[in-house]
């Protein structure tokens, strides 16, 4: 495998998914992968996306192909962006910085979560022209104003307001993995970490997210 680029090693998203599952301790994998309740919505979303078809435009002469779009007054190179994922640093060390840089290079938006493992200031130099900041609105208006001011000063010019999480979601696989609320490193979780030494080494080298 040495020398192969990641597109050759992981040609399908399913390959990346299998790799992530093999690398992450169970509670981290369940945090990333589990849906809520009976998890009926994931397959429904998948089926809806699979129903989208593209019609090839043939015998139309030279059609200049472009994946660029304009959205919210800005020009993007692709019609996709990186969605906010809380505690990304638990999944990969410094994931927020890596993803923000990759998004800036690709000309797409990067959206930082309210519950990220890096501060907006940490991303100031990485975020590029299309930094979005996702807000779970706090009850205290002073905290809210402070968060928004910090995000704006750090280069996040677009606000994404998440309004569909009025209470903590019920993720049954995550509960089954043994992760408590608030999270505590119990012997059960430590046993899961011990089975994933590469992940543990990465965390040990870069610092456990949230413990900075």
Ligand X SMILES: Cc1cc2nc3c(=O)[nH]c(=O)nc-3n(C[C@H](O)[C@H](O)[C@H](O)COP(=O)(O)O)c2cc1C
Given the rule CB under 6 A, which residues bind ligand X?
31-32, 45, 83-86, 113, 115, 134, 162
Partners of residue 161 on adjacent β-strands: 135
Contacts of 155 (CB under 8 A, 6+ apart): 120, 123, 124, 127, 128, 131
Nearer to ligand X by Cβ, of 84 and 131: the residue is: 84
The two three-digit tokens of residue 185, written as one number: 């490193």
Nearer to ligand X by Cβ, of 63 and 116: the residue is: 116
Minimum CB separation of residue 153 from ligand X in Å reads 21
CB 30 within 8 A of CB 173: yes
Q: How far is CA 19 from CA 9, 13, 29, in A?
A: 10, 10, 11
Nearer to ligand X by Cβ, of 61 and 182: the residue is: 182
Minimum CB separation of residue 73 from ligand X in Å reads 22
Minimum CB separation of residue 171 from ligand X in Å reads 9
156-161/131-135 β-pairing = parallel
CA 62 – CA 208 distance, rounded (Å) = 53
Nearer to ligand X by Cβ, of 117 and 154: the residue is: 117
CA 102 – CA 2 distance, rounded (Å) = 23
Nearer to ligand X by Cβ, of 14 and 58: the residue is: 14
Nearer to ligand X by Cβ, of 142 and 164: the residue is: 164
149-186 in b/e form (b: 16+ CB < 10 A) is: eebeebbbebebeeeeeeeeeebebbeebbbeeeeeee
Minimum CB separation of residue 31 from ligand X in Å reads 6
Minimum CB separation of residue 208 from ligand X in Å reads 17
Minimum CB separation of residue 168 from ligand X in Å reads 12
Partners of residue 110 on adjacent β-strands: 82, 131
């Amino acid at each position: 495998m040495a020398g192969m680029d990641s597109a050759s090693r992981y040609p399908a998203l399913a390959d990346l998914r299998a790799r992530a599952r093999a690398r992450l301790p169970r509670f981290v994998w369940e945090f990333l992968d589990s849906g809520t309740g009976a998890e009926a919505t994931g397959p429904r979303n998948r089926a809806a996306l699979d129903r989208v078809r593209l019609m090839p435009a043939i015998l139309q002469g030279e059609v200049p192909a472009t994946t660029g779009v304009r959205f919210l007054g800005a020009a993007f190179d692709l019609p996709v962006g990186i969605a906010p994922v809380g505690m990304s640093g638990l999944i990969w060390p410094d994931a927020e910085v890596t993803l923000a840089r990759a998004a800036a290079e690709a000309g797409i938006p990067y959206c930082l979560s309210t519950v990220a493992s890096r501060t907006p200031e940490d991303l100031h130099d990485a975020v590029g022209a299309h930094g979005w900041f996702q807000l779970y609105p706090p009850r205290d208006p002073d905290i809210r104003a402070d968060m928004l001011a910090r995000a704006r000063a750090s280069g996040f010019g677009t606000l994404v307001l998440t309004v569909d999480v009025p209470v903590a979601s019920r993720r049954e696989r995550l509960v089954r993995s043994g992760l408590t609320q608030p999270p505590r490193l119990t012997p059960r979780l430590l046993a899961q970490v011990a089975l994933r030494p590469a992940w543990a080494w990465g965390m040990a080298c870069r610092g456990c997210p949230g413990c900075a």
